[in-house]
Amino acid sequence: MRLLLTSGGLTNETLRYAVSSFSTKPIRIAFIPTAANVKEGEKSWLINDFVNCQKLGPVDIIDIAAIDKKLWLPRLEYATVIVMGGGSSSYLLEQIKKSGLQQELPALLEKRLYVGISAGSIVACKTLQISSEYFWDNKPKRIPTALNYVPFYIRPHLNSPKYPRYRTEILQRRMPTLDADLYAIDDDSAILFENGNITVLSEGNWKLYKNSKKN
């Protein structure tokens, strides 16, 4: 299984090269925008995500919450890259489970690259503990179990003016609430996870927070 977990999508040549070098087959991207369904406001960021993907090859947009499995599964099987877009991580995880995609993903990812964007990266972790709706709660409600594809947490949008709480010093203070290492990345960075190996790809800034309590 190979995952490229990004904050802002395929924003630069380093990240796009990581996708283009994945396979000798022509790139066919399946973009799942489902996490954006419940986000209010303008969606220029989502359009930018589509455009950046389109620089690499044809893009099929597949909303798993809107169509039946018999329609989305063949389209994912045709793709060589599955991009899980940003938005609400809790809603996205709910729809991944409800649609049946959670059961299909392990087999799909045997031969396909998974690219996460923000929420699409967070759901690849063990739980949603790093998601905004849980991370700041000192007495959180039950935290959903996520896909558990990686042995660390990933926090997108490091030091972004749009997310003022995700600063290096604030994240350091919150680390005792986590049970694994945390990679905080900005929108020009990503974590490549392949066969248990972790590689940071970046044209921007990132920080690793080691957790002494991890299992």
pLDDT at 180: 94
CATH classification (class only), 2-209: alpha beta
pLDDT at 134: 85
pLDDT at 136: 77
Integer Cα distance of 27 and 59 in angstroms: 9
pLDDT at 211: 83
Integer Cα distance of 158 and 188 in angstroms: 10
**From the first residue on, what is the mean pLDDT of each consecutive set of 10 residues in the chain (215 residues)?**
97 97 93 96 96 97 98 98 97 98 98 97 95 76 92 95 87 86 97 96 96 63
Domain regions of the chain by residue span: 2-209
pLDDT at 79: 98
> Could you count the other beta carbons within 10 Å of the beta carbon of residue 140?
13
pLDDT at 135: 82
Integer Cα distance of 98 and 63 in angstroms: 13
